Structure 1
Amino acid sequence: MAEQLVELNVTGMHCNNCAMSIHKLLEKKGLHDILVSFASEEVKFSTDDQQVLPEVIKGIESLGFKVVDDAATHQTKFYEKVENKFIFCAIFTAPLLLHMFLPWSFLHNPIVQLLLCLPVFMVGCLHFGKSAYSSVKGGVPNMDVLIFIGSSSAFIYSLVGTVQNLGEHYLFYETCATIITLVLLGNVLEKRSVNQTTSAVKDLMKFQQVNATRVIKNGTEIISAKDVQTGDILLVNEGDQIPVDGEVLSGDASVNESMITGESIPVTKTKYDKIIGGTIIQGGNLRMMATKVGSNSVLSQIISLMKKAQAAKPPVQKLGDKVAAIFVPVVIGIAILTFVLTYFAGGAGLQQSLMNAIAVLVISCPCAMGLATPTAVMVGLGRAAKNGILIKGGDTIEAVANAKYVLFDKTGTLTTGKFGVKDIKVEPGFELEWIRGVIVAIEERSNHPIARSLVKELSSAPQKKVILRSAVEEKGLGMRAIDIDGNNYFLGTAKLSNNDNFNLSLYKNQSLMAQIAIEDTIKSEAAGLIAQLKKAGVTPVLLSGDKASRCEAVAKSIGIKEVHAEKLPEDKLSVVDVYRKKGKTIMIGDGINDSPALTQADVGVSMNDASHIAIQSAKVVLLNTDLQSVVKFLQISKHTLLTIKQNLFWAFAYNIVAIPVAAFGFLNPMVGALTMAFSDVVVIGNSLRLKIKKIN
């Protein structure tokens, strides 16, 4: 039986450790292709036995998480919301803290303090205790273990002091309550920040939640875009969002495709043009036929790619994951050691020794390490997507940021792919107007890009009309045609000329009529891109199947020194291999004839329009074929990696400094809880800065 992909929506994950505990559970159950994302609340895996599903759901829920039908429509119960838990705890914690500043005698009463602390401690036990127990059971202890031990130690110590009436020096109810309340505040801020980091995917998903006007026998009906079937006829009017991918049957309109391509100028769409779901009609109206719906649509593929990319771990994250996995047991060990050394060797009292140990527990924050990479990756991918750049993996970002070589295909990548006639060399006995007429008549029958360019250019020039009886295309050679007088024509690749400038030859009844020199226009921004790459220490290389003379001419005009011309697809593979041995290599091509080389490179970049978005050979798809998006892509990747490194530095440095300070008794547990709560916010805040940061 073939393996099937299972997708589950799981709520309650709030950090990377949560995701790791679910990942470990699924691995133990022998499942494959496991993908757990705490930010998008998704769990995916492959299995050939669907009967294992109830057992898997039960296992996930036993870890303290909840499997729901749809995360978007799932309503969390009032008392389960972390915001409400924080408000409830804050109400009881405030008077406990006030007793330290106010002389009101009833606030100093141990029983009053116990009654104020008890509700907070119960909420903390349910919130952190349940999560701590589940994580230990799952084999990946999380931060909640430290919070639970720290707050419970303070509460039990205070309770013993109250029962035995040992005096106010044994009362630390405010420490217990404050630890719980401040960490809940940290969770609230963390949740809101993580929601912001996933906003790019959520924004795209909103584009799918629209209605469509379907044409039926008696008129029209309004249905949800989710209910549109392939082949349905739809009406889309000015101001409407196109509900699904399709083709225009009638009408014309200007369509804003900026949410797909990043291009702000509207595109005119007329009969037979392809249109993309989620784009908006700014003027005019269309009658369209749905061609791609549901998961086959361009928008669904973009969302799917982004979700996969957000879950793919760059190598730099693996260090953070390894540390986070062993961090909790190590911290508990340090806390115990702190207590033993302070109490027995240091001669401090039980109270001071316990406070030092609790401070060590609550100051530690493996969550910041777990959040360091995924939050930065999500924001980076989101910013890239809004610029029409689809990155198919978080691991791609690291490879791009360290790239040493960028290999470019020529046609359609550095050049526009639109050809112009540079020169027509007419043989004796033939007229230029007649030759133009023959070329137009023949090339009108072909769909080749060169043919379309020639027809467009020559149609406006003086010519004699030629009527053809038939025309057939010979792949890789050219076109053969017969006119109404029975004359045979061939228009194809130049074979006679020793001059590389002439690309095509035209024959009539096997006699040469003319030679045509055509040239591809270099993109206006190509020279600027090459200059920017060189400035960044990246070596640009031209790798093309075109003639050496033309490749050299293009390379010289835009500043590329290393050129590999006349290369077949299999030759390109070996060239890519040579550069990969020297350093990280990016290959940029049109995604079709370059697909083997795109796959072979460290990162393959497809310069393509949205209709070819599903090309699997490239790890990156540039929806906007403007070369400036290549620069933008490299800049976003470098700044995302820089943000990850900054986050990991802050997460590690915080713990390296904070734990010894707490162990030596220089840090109050309450201050520790506050700084711990905000260390997550610092890491996430640094990631969110990437959204608006000026990159160069």
Structure 2
Amino acid sequence: MMKKTIRITGMHCANCALNIEKGLKRMEGVKAASVSFTTEKAIVEFDERKLSEEKLLERIKEIGYGGVFVESSFDKEKEIREREETHLKRLLLLSIIFALPAFIIGMFLMEFPYRGYVLLLLATPVQFIVGWRFYKSTWASLKQRTANMDTLIALGTSAAYLYSLYLVSQDVMGETYFETSAVLITFVVLGKYLEARAKARTSQAIRELMQLSPKQARVLAKGKEKIIPIDEVKTGDVILVKPGEEVPVDGVVLSGESSVDESMITGESIPAEKAKGSTVYGGTMNKHGFLKIKATRVGEDSTLARIIKLIEEAQMKKAPIQSYADMVSAYFVPAVILISFITFSAWFFIMGKPLSFALTTAVAVLVISCPCALGLATPTAVMVGIGKGARNGILIRGGEVLEKVHKVDTILLDKTGTITVGKPFVTDVVSFGKINEAELLSFAASVEKASGHPLADAVVEKAKEGRIEIYTVSKFKSFTGKGVRGVVKGKAVMLGRPDWFNTNEKIESKVAELENEGKTVVLVQVDSQFGAIAVSDPIKPDSADAVARFKRMGFWVYMVTGDNERVAKAVAKEIGVDRYFAGVLPEDKSKLVEKLKKEGRNVAMVGDGVNDAPALALADVGVVMSSGTDVAMESGDIVLMRNSLLDVAKAINLSKATMNKIKQNLFWALIYNIIGIPVAAGVLYPYILLNPIIAGGAMALSSVSVVTNSLLLNRAEI
């Protein structure tokens, strides 16, 4: 299966996006298709053996729109968007040049010489040059046996224009409606122009990230510095980064010390200190030191590129509440056309009103209705919400996640790497026999070197610090959730959880003492000799504050750990967690999530994405504490780039704020149409009768108001 992003041109409303989406989904070989009017893009997943990329573009063209595969270039994206805005601006200026004098003559200068002919000359360019896009879109929709907002505009303005032609043929100085059709089209184009500018601001976060992508790198090759385009940098290249320069690609520091501003990646305002062995990310800013780095990820594999891709795809994913708006939009236009026909028939045939009166009300109904406001209500809020999250180091995978997060009532926290720093270190080495501490550590490190467990790394690191010899291990075997064993220098060595061994009261007492201090104890057995190694994983400075905030927000907070009861109790007490699960094996974490869900809880599982991926996937919302690792970036619904538990609370608050905006937008879009259409139809006549020009202006502003309301999310406190 192949997934491609296509930029769509020619869409004028949410129904256009729905028509394209339906057309693509009907193609053989297409597994999934999602089209967003807001981003003006389509994401299509298809079987490349059954369907070529060209066929997809041909299908879009058949439906009546244009399409081009998206290039991973910010400049190209910017160029396309600016070209579209410029085109709308020119149409708007052309429309104003003709519509303004038409309005003045039509409304105020009743004795203007050859009034009807002059209005005809002024209205025609607006109707058929500026308004051609509405006819083109209407024809494309009719070929697909659907209708969209452009259908309403084309019908309404054509009715006013053609009826005016008839009136001019009868009396050149009489009343006409040319100014109505011309001003209506002007208002619609004005609305589209303002909407395009506002929509551009909803994707501001992703554009800011795209602008961070460095254009070149200073590579060290054969002892000489050479500046090359970023596309030519390869993994393994040695790169020099001077003070004040951008780090061009992801890499590891070979030499040098500096502080690097990573706020654009993590949202953290305080620069991160970097030294030999530190990881750096492309797009970040080197502050004052000189760094020599080795490139580890380049191009589309870089952290910045993957974040941009994640946000782009997230902004395309529809929230479930969007399906309600899509369903209404699908029936909206035909319903409005029917109401308009009924309005005309009722006033003309039943109430006996003049043709001009009936036509005015029918046109007002057509042009006041706005399916666009409904279509924009959800995706614009989702785009702004996801963008705001990205600026704060919170990556959210789409509208569906946002909608689920605000329902969460239970937070399940993994201990290691989530509550704690995730970098354990050895605090105590205790021997219970003739073997001394150095020997004990040597045997332990020799076996642990073959293990990939975080605690094993701490033991090996401790041995290296003390310059203690590490030997080759044979017959190594790992027992998940228990420990490891092997043979070192002819001696059988076992390391693992204390309850895996048969020990005496003296050993158990010392183990209990260390565990009550919140340390994790690894027992070591070398033949018949016993020892213990205590490891501590420091608790993050903000973990206790985060737990306190979760409680104030009304959440049930649980901690889950593979450590035993004593260690779990000590850590839980230190951070203020009242409920915890101890001795939980990695594979049993998902069972715990399932148990809580069966109790009716909406669970957010917070982990590091390493050994808790099944639990993260099973939870209602999986939140991953990321350090930019591949696993973390792929395994969570929400990725926290700052590794701070406080950001979990921010993600929940952002979700609630976004859902509130969506509900506000849907409410106003529905209320506008529910009230506006009957008023336009004349239900309040003779007290109020809407002029189609006023109706058109209201319609144009309704879409802009929805987008503007979504943009207010940027001011929300999270």
Q: TM-score, normalised by structure 1?
A: 0.90
Aligned partner (choices 664, 675, 681) of residue 646 of structure 1: 664
Aligned residue identity for 1:693: A
Distance 1:105 1:164, change over 3 A: closer
Q: Secondary structure at the match of 2:635?
A: coil
2:251 corresponding residue in structure 1: 246
Q: Secondary structure at the match of 1:616?
A: helix
Report the AA paired with residue 648 of structure 2.
Answer: V
Alignment partner of 1:281 out of 279, 286, 289: 286
More displaced 10-residue stretch of structure 1: 93-102 or 451-460: 451-460
Tell me by how many angstroms 1:672 deviates.
0.6
What whole-Å deviation, never above 9, does each CA across 1:8-38 have from its counterpart, x for those lacking one? 3322334332221111111222222213233
Q: Distance in 2 between matches of 1:218 and 1:453?
A: 37
Alignment of 1:5-24 (within 5 A): 5-24=3-22
Q: CA deviation at 1:201?
A: 1.5
What is the match of residue 537 of structure 1? 554
Q: Cα distance, 1:547 vs. partner?
A: 0.9
TM-superposed deviation, 1:344: 1.5
Written as runs of structure 1 = structure 2, the 5 A alignment for 1:234-383 is 234-383=239-388
Displacement, 1:577?
1.3
- 1:272 Cα deviation (Å)? 3.6
Given the superposition, is the C-alpha separation of residues 682 and 107 from structure 1 closer, same or farther in structure 2, using an over 3 Å criterion? farther
Determine the structure 2 residue equivalent to 1:92. 98
Residues of 2 paired with 1:75 and 1:408: CA distance?
43
5+ residue gaps, structure 2:
515-520
Cα distance, 1:50–1:474 mapped onto 2, change above 3 Å: closer
Aligned to 1:564: 581
1:424-435 matches, within 5 Å, as 427=432, 435=437
State the shift of 1:479 in Å: 8.2
Structure 1 residues 548, 416: closer, same or farther in 2, change over 3 A? same
CA 448–658 in structure 1, closer or farther in 2 if over 3 Å, else same = same
Displacement after TM superposition at 1:151 (Å): 0.7
State the Cα distance separating 1:452 from its structure 2 match: 5.9
- What is the SS of the residue equivalent to 1:371? helix
**1:346 CA displacement:** 1.8
Contact 2:367–2:699 (Cα < 8 Å) also in 1: yes
The alpha-carbon deviation at position 450 of structure 1 amounts to: 3.8
What SS does the corresponding residue of 1:56 show, helix, strand or coil? helix
* Deviations 1:456-483, CA, capped at 9 Å, x for gaps: 89999xxxx7753626486453687979
Does the aligned pair in 2 maintain the 1:143–1:366 contact within 8 Å?
yes
CA separation of 1:690 and 1:437: change in aligned 2, threshold 3 A: farther
Contact 1:252/1:284 (<8 A) preserved: yes
Could you say which residue in structure 2 is the equivalent of 1:603? 621
What is the rounded CA distance, in whole Å, between the counterparts of 1:501 and 1:108 in structure 2? 104
Query: Residue 7 of structure 1: CA displacement?
Result: 3.4
Counterpart position of 1:692: 715
Alignment match, 1:468:
469
1:43 aligns with 2:48: no
Report if the CA contact (8 A) 1:480-1:490 is conserved. Answer: yes
- Is structure 2 residue 395 aligned with structure 1 residue 397? no
Q: How far did residue 579 of structure 1 move?
A: 1.9
Q: Rate the CA distance shift 1:48–1:221 in 2: closer, same or farther, 3 A.
A: same
8 Å CA contact retained: 2:484, 2:496:
yes
Letter in 2 for 1:687: S
Task: Look up the SS of the partner of 1:114 in the other structure.
Answer: helix
Instruction: Indicate whether 1:498 and 2:508 are aligned.
Output: yes
Evaluate the alpha carbon distance shift between residue 388 and residue 396 of structure 1 in structure 2; reply closer, same or farther with a 3 A threshold.
same
1:468-519 per-residue CA deviation (whole Å, 9 max, x = no partner) reads 3626486453687979xx999876543434343441345666333x545444
Deviates more, 1:331-340 or 1:254-263: 254-263
Q: Does 1:386 align with 2:391?
A: yes
Q: How many residues align?
A: 682
Mapped to 1, the partners of 2:140 and 2:15 lie a distance apart of 11
How far, CA to CA, are the matches of 2:289 and 2:334 in structure 1?
Answer: 65
Deviation at 1:148, TM superposition (A): 0.9
In the alignment, the residues of structure 1 paired with residue 545 and residue 528 of structure 2 have an alpha-carbon distance, to the nearest angstrom, of 46
The verdict on how the C-alpha distance between 1:259 and 1:443 changes in structure 2, with shifts beyond 3 A counting, is farther
Q: 1:95 Cα deviation (Å)?
A: 1.3
Q: 2:458–2:535: 8 Å Cα contact kept in structure 1?
A: no
Q: 1:370 to 1:297 in 2, by over 3 A?
A: same
Worse-matched range after superposition: 518-527 or 82-91: 518-527
Secondary structure of the equivalent of 2:636? coil
Which stretch shows the higher mean deviation, 440-449 or 562-571?
440-449
Matched, 1:667 2:690: yes
- Counterpart-to-counterpart distance in 1, 2:207 and 2:413: 34
Paired residue type of 1:20: L
Secondary structure of 2:395's partner? strand
Residue 119 (structure 1) shift: 1.1
Partners of 1:492 and 1:572 lie apart in 2 by 20
Equivalent position of 1:580 in the other structure? 597
Q: What displacement does 1:404 show?
A: 1.9
Residue 284 of structure 2 aligns with an amino acid whose one-letter code is T
* Counterpart residue type for residue 338 of structure 1: T
Partner of 2:517: none
- Distance in 2, matches of 1:230 and 1:651, equals 51
Q: CA deviation at 1:209?
A: 4.8
Instruction: Quote how far apart the aligned CAs of 1:321 are.
Output: 0.5
Q: How does 1:227-238 map to 2 (within 5 A)?
A: 227-238=232-243
Question: Match of 2:290, SS?
Answer: strand
Task: Please tell me whether the aligned partners of residues 382 and 398 of structure 2 are also in contact (alpha carbons under 8 angstroms).
Answer: no
- Following the alignment from structure 1 to structure 2, what is the Cα–Cα distance between the partners of residues 227 and 620? 32
Gaps of 5+ in 1: none
**Could you say which residue in structure 2 is the equivalent of 1:612?**
630
Task: Verify: 1:196 aligned to 2:201, yes or no.
Answer: yes
Distance in 2 between the 1:215 and 1:518 partners? 41
What CA distance in whole angstroms lies between the structure 2 residues aligned with 1:25 and 1:62? 9
Root mean square deviation of aligned Cα: 3.1
C-alpha contact 1:606 1:618 (8 A) present in aligned 2: yes
Cα offset for 1:571? 2.0
Give the whole-Å Cα distance in 2 for the aligned partners of 1:601 and 1:324.
33
Match of 2:418 among 389, 413, 433: 413
Per the alignment, residue 114 of structure 1 pairs with 120
Residue 105 of structure 2 aligns to which amino acid in structure 1? Answer: H
- Does the C-alpha gap of structure 1 residues 209 and 254 become closer, same or farther in structure 2, counting only changes over 3 Å? closer
**CA 1:504–1:57 in structure 2 vs 1: closer, same or farther (change >3 Å)?**
closer
* In structure 2, C-alpha distance between the alignment counterparts of 1:490 and 1:125, rounded to whole Å: 81
Give the secondary structure class of the aligned counterpart of 1:521.
Answer: coil
Distance 1:493 1:270, change over 3 A: same
Query: What is the one-letter code of the residue matched to 1:29?
Result: M
Q: Please give the alpha-carbon distance, in whole angstroms, between the structure 2 residues aligned to 1:419 and 1:281.
A: 29
CA distance in 2, matches of 1:517, 1:75: 59
**Structure 1 residues 150 and 303: alpha-carbon distance in aligned structure 2, compared to 1, 3 A threshold:** same
Identity across aligned pairs (percent)? 38
Contact 1:96/1:113 (<8 A) preserved = yes
Is the contact between residue 39 and residue 316 of structure 2 (CA under 8 Å) also seen in structure 1?
Answer: no
**AA aligned opposite 2:40:** E
Q: Determine the C-alpha separation between the residues in 2 that align with 1:508 and 1:601.
A: 42
8 Å CA contact 2:413, 2:559 repeated in 1: yes
Which residue in 1 is equivalent to 2:60?
60
Cα 1:509/1:107, change in 2 over 3 Å: farther
Moved more, 352-361 or 123-132: 123-132
Contact 1:124 1:148 in 2 (8 A): no
Q: Distance in 2 between matches of 1:51 and 1:319?
A: 31
1:126 Cα shift?
0.9
Instruction: Indicate conservation of the 8 Å contact 1:257/1:280, yes or no.
Output: yes
